Structure 1
Amino acid sequence: MKKTSIYFLLVFVVLTACSSQEISIGVLHEHANKERVSKDTSVKRFNREISIAAIGDILIHDRVYLDAWDGELYDFQPMFASIKDYLINTDITLANQESIMGGEAIGLSNYPQFNSPFEIGDTLQDVGVDIVTMANNHTLDRGEQAIRNAVNYYNEIGMAYTGSFISEEDNETIRVLDVKGITVAFLSYTYGTNGMPVPDRKDYLVNLIDKQAIENDVKKANNLADMTIVSYHFGDEYQRLPNQEQQDLAQFAADLGVEVVIGHHPHVLQPVDWVEGKDGNQTLVAYSLGNFLSGQYELYQRIGGIFQFSAKKDGTTITVDTPVFLPTFVDFDIINDKMTDVQVIPLKDVSDEQLSNASDHLEEIKAHLTKYVDDVQFID
């Protein structure tokens, strides 16, 4: 049984996603040699530890949702079947819902203005996702109504969300998940919205990257939770290394005492790093988790992964360590110019028939992810 609690300031709602599976990435018990202490918290009587996972872009092109159509509904379950066991037992799982989930009523749509069916939200919840980030360059693709539809549906199924909201009050409510006595705050921001202006007096519809706003939110989050995770939608598309702006924003978050930074937008994997904050704290940074599920065709656009780490509360400190990564691959067939049998599978399980020299690509991805650090472990 996977359980988290969501605190909306002082009010909480308990979320539960059940599983009979026993296989997951799991928190490795041989921790990295150097422990990285993030910040002091109020004294607790018992030590606690949780596992947190993050996945990249859920970018539902029309060729993906058309493959999911079974004649009655959009069934995305088979696409996640091979990786569900790696997600379901993680204590908290975060996903980036790149394409707005406005539902069929307003018409599904493809790039450049996406709109996805509600069923993708059901599937994400079924595979163990607890919270989605919504601040990205496609948030305003289908206007305010799509955002309201998505938020209403997330509320209906009990899925937490951050980065895009339907009111000022909703925006000001920091999302905090509580599991096993460790509280985790989630914040999300985007560099822009593809030139689409945010409606007047409705800035709450999407969080834009603004350092003053981020600082204010992080201060609130740090007061509400034991640790804070910031998601940035930033960087250059299809570039495999972070640019200077990404590095500066990661440093900014570290200086604020943020424990973890998760990046999205480039649609390809970028390396993992530790960034030292001004107070000597170490912030874990994944500059880009790439695409997790999308209809993009190029090799590196098809490789994403599950990024997991542990958060341990020991007396008065929170320690984030043991970064673990499972590279994944979006496999599909092309029949009559249509994408079929789309599925996300562990890259370690990909055959040479599915991807030529698959094992060589896996080793290259491992080397790429550890370009800056060597303490990222991989699932074999």
Structure 2
Amino acid sequence: MVYAENWSQPSILELARSGNFQALNYWIDSLLRPEGIYARVEQAQAGCVQILVEFQRELAPDNTLLGSTLREGLVKFICHQLWRLNSPAVEGVRIHARLAGEPEILWKQSVRIVTPANSRQRRYRSLLVVDWVKFKTYRSLLLVGSALASFILGCWVTYHEALALRSISVSPYQQAAAMSGPPPKRPDAVQAALEVVPVVQQKQVANPYDPTVTLMFGGNVNLLDAIGASSGNDYDWAFANMDEYRQADVAMVNLENPLTSSTLNPGKKQLNFKANPESVKVLTAGGVDIVNLANSHAMDYEEPGLVDTINTLNNAGIGHLGAGRNIKEARRPDIIEVKGQRIAYLGYYDADLHAADQGKAGINSRRNNRVAEDIRALRGQVDWIIVNYHWGVELADYPGDWQIDLARFTIDQGADLVVGHHPHVLQGAEVYKGRPIVYSLGNFIFGANARSDYDTAVLKVSLKDRNMKVEFLPVEVKKFQPNVVKGAAGSRILKHVEQISSIFDRPMGAQVVLDAPINPAMLPKIPNPLFPGAAKTDTPGPNSPDSRGESNLPAPGQPKPTLILPPLPAAPKQPDNSSLFQNGTGPAIESSPPPTSQDLPPRIYPTQRDQPSKEADPFTTEPFIKKPFISPPSPRTEGIPSPQGYLPPTGDLSFKVALKEYSISAMVPGKRIDRSGQSIALPPIAANIS
């Protein structure tokens, strides 16, 4: 749903010119974003703005970022835009530059901006000072004749002069406050790709006075009988030591079993799970608010089992996503608003097995064009988008290259967080374009496992203003009961997470703070003339008249601006590699034009900002990892696989290749020639292998 534009609101340009730093941030960032450079504007002191610019490492592969060419061009570009803005509230700029994701500041530069607006303001102030000096002289002369009259006159002049100076100094900010006004009220529903989805108001939170929104993500949860046997059918037992889940504002898990009493023959599938619908009390006691059903076991008992699960979750007040009675319900996102922040959850299963369709219950199957449509439909209406994938190879310590491509593609479409499930073990995590990707959270409370004791981790995400703090919490599971641990045990688990994350260019550590900009949908639209290439501009320029018909050029005697619009370094052109997904396990995404500045989603960056300028195609021609990093699983001795467990085989793996002699026949159009050179009039065959 697109917010209706309020025609009484000022434009971004007007807000920025009046001194609104939020609008100024959005305006500057939109100008630099096409070049792969991102800006954050803050107020350093009265009349001076501070701009932090961040570059993606790809823009300076040879450390040319440290050179003077890019620095000089960028400083001139920013100063020229501020001069064109012609704001009386901006008299100077302080620019800090650094690489995205790096805390070190590469260089700083301060520049004084002389614009027609603030030149007139300073000139008027200087005239007031001159008048004040003249009047003091006149008053001194009057004191010779009449001390009392001079005293009264001096008080009167001082009073009115103080009022005049005060009005000059605060009027831009008063104007900004009056023009900005309260933000528009958000609607109670959003327009998703297929339907209008209501927004769920999450009012039952642990600390309603804390503006920080806390999200929790756990791995696979399976509520089979093994948990009941360990807990004595105590529904509070499983999450008894997980206060972190109950204290979170929104807690989520991947539910790997239907909640059904169905006796339907599950068919020929090797492992089929189900739990008594009463087991949902384990989730409610643990503080779980939403579950992902887009997985390999949601349809173990066909449509009746899925329908029972959905009804049971609805009755318990637990949200669900990724599966439904039809394709519309399966694709339906779960939209939750908590403490003023609107969060969208999406779930996909990377297989077409039991895929939902029109009038057919099933899973939300992952298709690239579907993922793109779902995210883009929501991007301008919510603050955060979280995508869950059920994917990968069981017991693999690392994701496949196709998973990495898919996760990054998802971020490119506008997602803020990607969370993976299915492998039953922890996998690595990375930060891509300033957004976290967690490839697998492993098992959380998995009653179908033959082992009841294992190590894992949960993901905690804290949202406050424009910041996202992401951290792994180490968890030890004993007799299917998880517990967040510290000390040596916690360090061991976190070290393992860091180790399996080290394969990425930008691995995500145990804790990272990321940053995202304001939601552009909640601000008035930027007029098209702001962007390069527009035919006409309303922004005051060197030769454009102002509203009174006067030229913005400084009058004779005033300092003339010497800045010219310099070319910025072009962002690296990305090759077209859409064929990578066309040859993969799923259908390729439909081609689409590169996103415009208004299509781009809110961004998040380590510490401050981190997002390169790339085109819509997220893939690379070169392999992400030069050498294969996923080797055949090594032998393990924990146990022997059983129908109720996910354990690797204990025997050694052996690979035997039987070589056979072969002969090759040459191909010619319409015939075949064998070794003897004879032509055989048979249907063409490329090779004859015997």
Normalised by the size of structure 2, how large is the TM-score?
0.42
The CA deviation at 1:200 is: 6.5
Match of 1:97 in 2: 255
Match of 1:291 in 2: 443
Would you say 1:53 and 2:216 are equivalent positions?
A: yes
1:244/1:168 Cα in 2 relative to 1: closer, same or farther (>3 Å)?
A: closer
1:162/1:358 Cα in 2 relative to 1: closer, same or farther (>3 Å)?
A: same
1:175 and 1:185 in contact (8 A); partners too: yes
- From 302, 316, 331, the equivalent of 2:454 is 302
1:55 and 1:305 in contact (8 A); partners too: yes
- From 323, 340, 347, the equivalent of 1:164 is 323
1:226-305 → structure 2 map (5 Å cutoff): 226-276=383-433, 282-295=434-447, 296-297=449-450, 302-305=454-457
Q: What code does the residue aligned with 2:470 have?
A: P
Q: What code does the residue aligned with 1:224 have?
A: Q
Structure with the largest fraction of helix: 2
Match of 1:362 in 2: 493
CA distance in 2, matches of 1:190, 1:171: 11
2:295 and 2:390 in contact (8 A); partners too: yes
Match of 2:629 in 1: none
2:336 and 2:343 in contact (8 A); partners too: yes
CA distance in 1, matches of 2:370, 2:481: 38
The CA deviation at 1:94 is: 1.3
The CA deviation at 1:150 is: 0.7
Q: What code does the residue aligned with 2:249 have?
A: D
- Structure 2 unaligned regions, length at least 5: 1-187, 191-195, 513-690
Match of 1:377 in 2: 511
Q: What code does the residue aligned with 2:285 have?
A: D
1:132-151 → structure 2 map (5 Å cutoff): 132-151=291-310
The CA deviation at 1:51 is: 1.8
More contact order relative to length (CA 8 Å, sep ≥ 6): 1
Would you say 1:324 and 2:471 are equivalent positions?
A: yes
1:348 and 1:362 in contact (8 A); partners too: no
- SS in structure 1 opposite 2:464? strand
CA deviation profile, 1:94-152 (whole Å, cap 9, x unmatched): 111112222x3548999701111223322222222111100011121110011100111
Normalised by the size of structure 1, how large is the TM-score?
0.73
- SS in structure 1 opposite 2:461? strand
The CA deviation at 1:15 is: 5.0
- SS in structure 2 opposite 1:145? helix
Q: What code does the residue aligned with 2:279 have?
A: I
Give the RMSD, CA atoms, in angstroms.
3.1
CA distance in 2, matches of 1:107, 1:17: 38
CA distance in 2, matches of 1:168, 1:297: 35
1:30-109 → structure 2 map (5 Å cutoff): 49-68=212-231, 70=232, 74-83=233-242, 85-102=243-260, 104=261, 106=263
2:258 and 2:273 in contact (8 A); partners too: yes
Match of 2:378 in 1: 221
The CA deviation at 1:363 is: 5.4
1:15 and 1:158 in contact (8 A); partners too: no
1:178/1:18 Cα in 2 relative to 1: closer, same or farther (>3 Å)?
A: closer
- SS in structure 2 opposite 1:86? helix
The total of aligned residue pairs comes to 312
The CA deviation at 1:255 is: 0.7
CA distance in 1, matches of 2:357, 2:341: 38
1:107/1:303 Cα in 2 relative to 1: closer, same or farther (>3 Å)?
A: farther
Q: What code does the residue aligned with 2:307 have?
A: R
2:197 and 2:332 in contact (8 A); partners too: no
Identical aligned pairs, as a percentage? 25
- SS in structure 2 opposite 1:184? strand
The CA deviation at 1:266 is: 0.5
1:208/1:10 Cα in 2 relative to 1: closer, same or farther (>3 Å)?
A: closer
Q: What code does the residue aligned with 1:323 have?
A: V
CA distance in 1, matches of 2:288, 2:258: 16
CA distance in 1, matches of 2:371, 2:356: 20
4+ residue segments displaced more than 6 Å: 107-111
- Structure 1 unaligned regions, length at least 5: 1-5, 28-47, 277-281, 333-341, 350-356
Match of 1:45 in 2: none
1:346/1:172 Cα in 2 relative to 1: closer, same or farther (>3 Å)?
A: closer
Q: What code does the residue aligned with 1:344 have?
A: P
- SS in structure 1 opposite 2:325? coil
Structure with the largest fraction of strand: 1
Match of 2:335 in 1: 176
2:430 and 2:508 in contact (8 A); partners too: no
* Pair member with larger Rg: 2
1:325-344 → structure 2 map (5 Å cutoff): 325-332=472-479, 342-344=480-482
- From 210, 223, 227, the equivalent of 2:367 is 210
Q: What code does the residue aligned with 2:444 have?
A: F
Match of 2:32 in 1: none
